[in-house]
Amino acid sequence: MVELCAAGRGKPDDVRAWLASLAELIPVPDRFARYTMSRDATLNFLKIGEHTLDTLAGDGLRFRDSDGDRFFEQHDVWTLGFHSGTNRSVSELASKSVVRFCRGAAGEWVRPMSWRVRTFAACPEREKCDGTWTHAPIRPDLVHGRVLETTVGPGARAPEPSGQVGGKPATVVLDCVTESRGEKLPLRSPLARRLYRETLGELRSGEIRFQALPGALAAQPDLARSHRITNCMSTATYLAKTLTEGGLTARSRNGYLAGVGAMPHGWTEIYEDGVWKILDPTVAFVARRWHLKDAQADQFDEFCAGSPYNRLIPFDCEAGAALVSHTHDAVAFPEVPTEVDARAASAR
Ligand SMILES: [Zn+2]
C-alpha cells in the first residue's frame, strides 16, 4: 500500500485519460444528484492533483460551491474514477480487489469460507445520537452457509460510536461471523440464459453503462436504462423483472460482496430444479474488466450464470432496498451512510 501511494504521488496525472473518462460519463439526472464530496475528499478519492481537478471542473464535472468549499457529485466522482483507466482511484482499486478471487481456480470460488462482517452507520443529522438502528436480517443459508457468532445483531441496541463513516462518528449496527460456500449450479432455462447473456453483453459493449447510481434511481431500472446507465442493484432488479415477465420464478437480492473489505452488492436469484440459483452478470463484467482474459473469463461468465460463489453475504432484502435504517425523535431515515468491512475470519 505504501508503495502504491508513493508511486501514485510521484507520477504526473494523465489529464487526457481523465478528460476522456469525463467525456464518456453520463451524469445521474439532476433530481438524484448529491453534492457531498468536498474538494479534498474528491482529490483523495481520485488520487489526482488540484490542477487536474480544476481542469475537470472547467470541462463539466458537476459541483456546487458552498461555505467556502467546493462539493462534487458523489456518483459522478465514483464513475469518473472507475472508467479512468488510471488504476489509482478508489473506485478502481476497491472494485479490483473485491473481485480478485476470480483469478483462482474454480474450486476457490466454492470452498467454505468464514467472514467477520461489520457494518458501521452514521446518523445523517447528529454527531452523537442515541436513536435506534435496524439492519436487514443476514441470510447466509441462501448460499449454503450459517451464522457462527453474533456480537451485534439486526435489531440489537447499537453500542457507542466506534468507527467513522464519511468523517462522522459511526456505530456498529452489525457485527457477526458468518460462513458461506459456493456451489456449481449451471443454469438450464434457455430464456434465463439468453437474458443473462444479453445483460452481460450490454455491460461489456457499454450500450448500458456501468456507473455508480443513487439508491432511488437504481430502484427504477427502466428509468436508469432510459439514461443508458446501470449498477449492480439496478441490473439485479431489471433482470429479476424480465425473468418474472418471462414466466420464471425470480427475485433480486441485496447483500455484500466480501473480499479485502467489502462492497454492497445486488444480484438476481432464479428458482430452478428445486433450488435458488444466482445470476450475477455485474460481477462477471467487473471480474473480466480487471483480472480475467478470454478462456478463464468465459469460464467465470458461465459460472456466474446459476452458481453462487463463496463471497456473497445475502440479507433478507431486495436489491436496491436499504439494508440499514435509522430512527431518532420519531423521524425515520431510510438512507443512512454506511461502511462495511468483511474479512476472512478463519479457514475451515
Ligand atoms: Zn440519529
123 CA from centroid of ligand 1 (Å): 4
Q: What are phi and psi of 318, to 5 degrees?
A: -75, 155
**The predicted structure's pLDDT at residue 128:** 81
165 CA from centroid of ligand 1 (Å): 14
CA 323 to CA 320: how far, in whole Å? 9
125 CA from centroid of ligand 1 (Å): 6
Q: Predicted confidence band at 9 (pLDDT cuts at 50, 70, 90)?
A: low
Residues 6+ apart with CB under 8 A from 1: none
CA 320 to CA 220: how far, in whole Å? 9
Q: Predicted confidence band at 178 (pLDDT cuts at 50, 70, 90)?
A: very high
CA 196 to CA 269: how far, in whole Å? 12
131 CA from centroid of ligand 1 (Å): 5
- Of the two residues 159 and 185, the one the predictor is more confident about is 185
Contact yes or no for 209/75 (Cβ under 8 A): no
To the nearest whole number, what is the mean pLDDT of the chain? Answer: 90
95 CA from centroid of ligand 1 (Å): 30
205 CA from centroid of ligand 1 (Å): 43
331 CA from centroid of ligand 1 (Å): 9
Nearest to 76 by CA among 50, 100, 45: 45
Dihedral sign, CA of 4, 73, 320, 151? positive
Q: What are phi and psi of 113, to 5 degrees?
A: -135, 150
307 CA from centroid of ligand 1 (Å): 39
Q: pTM, whole model, 2 decimals?
A: 0.91
- 3-state DSSP assignment of residue 19: helix
CA 231 to CA 282: how far, in whole Å? 8
Tens-place pLDDT, residues 70-120: 999 999 999 999 999 999 999 999 999 999 999 988 899 999 999 999 999
Q: In 10 A of CB 249, how many CB atoms?
A: 12
**The predicted structure's pLDDT at residue 158:** 62
Tens-place pLDDT, residues 312-347: 999 999 998 889 999 999 999 878 888 898 888 864
Return left, alpha or beta for 85; rule: phi > 0 is left, psi -120 to 50 is alpha, else beta. Answer: left
128 CA from centroid of ligand 1 (Å): 7
Confidence check: pLDDT of 13 > 50: yes
Contact yes or no for 95/263 (Cβ under 8 A): yes
DSSP string, 278-293: EE-HHHHHHHHHHT--
**The predicted structure's pLDDT at residue 317:** 94
**The predicted structure's pLDDT at residue 334:** 79
- 3-state DSSP assignment of residue 66: strand
CA 39-42-46 angle, to 5 degrees, is 145
> Residue 248 is placed in which grid cell?
420464471
CA 278 to CA 284: how far, in whole Å? 12
Average pLDDT estimate for 243-248? 98
Nearest to 240 by CA among 194, 293, 195, 275: 195
294 CA from centroid of ligand 1 (Å): 49
CA 338-340-343 angle, to 5 degrees, is 175
**Residue owning grid cell 449451471:** 186
124 CA from centroid of ligand 1 (Å): 7
Nearest to 310 by CA among 270, 342, 273: 342
Confidence check: pLDDT of 154 > 70: no
171 CA from centroid of ligand 1 (Å): 11
Tens-place pLDDT, residues 200-216: 999 999 999 999 999 88
Compute CA distances 297 → 106, 211, 303, whole Å: 11, 21, 10
**The predicted structure's pLDDT at residue 155:** 61
CA 13 to CA 48: how far, in whole Å? 6
326 CA from centroid of ligand 1 (Å): 7
CA 210 to CA 245: how far, in whole Å? 24
**The predicted structure's pLDDT at residue 65:** 96
250 CA from centroid of ligand 1 (Å): 36
